Amino acid sequence: MLKILVLCTHNSARSQMAEGWLRHYARAQSLQAVIKSAGTQKTFVKENAIVVMKEIGIDISQHQSKTIADLKDNDFDIVLTVCDAANEACPIYPASTNRLHISFEDPSGQSLDKWREVRDAIGQSSKKMIEILAKNKTPKQKDILPN
């Protein structure tokens, strides 16, 4: 089974939204995958992330912020970093792990409209990634950039 990790600094917003989107699209494509998110630091899932995801029918209200050390299994096929700090702090994974990076803007402290904009960009990239994986192909960063 395919295993995907989404990594950001606090595991509070962007990585949580990406986890929700990736699970949503994996189910839609009948793609068997374990999808997790983590941060380099643990905080809490931000309320605005929960709100804007709920607006589009994806419930992340039960998600918990966690660190990489909190994960029982650190063997992933794909590691997607969604902020520059996490990309720089990302642990070393085996050569067989496909590492991808897209730096999405941090919507913290901004309007709900900005949160929606970031949510939608993450959704576009997540959809592209799952569509590629559903064809048994390996996604490349350029293939999953938002529009």
**Residues taking part in catalysis:** 8, 83, 90
3-state secondary structure of 24: helix
Kindly list the distances between the CA atom of residue 146 and the CA atoms of 32, 68, 126, 128, 141, in Å, as whole numbers in the listed order.
23, 26, 9, 8, 10
Q: Give residue 135's identity as a one-letter amino acid code.
A: K
Given a contact cutoff of 8 angstroms between Cβ atoms, the answer to whether 98 and 77 are in contact is: yes
Given a contact cutoff of 8 angstroms between Cβ atoms, the answer to whether 31 and 136 are in contact is: no
Name the DSSP letter for residue 95: T
Region at 33 (left for phi over 0; alpha for psi -120 to 50; beta for the rest): beta
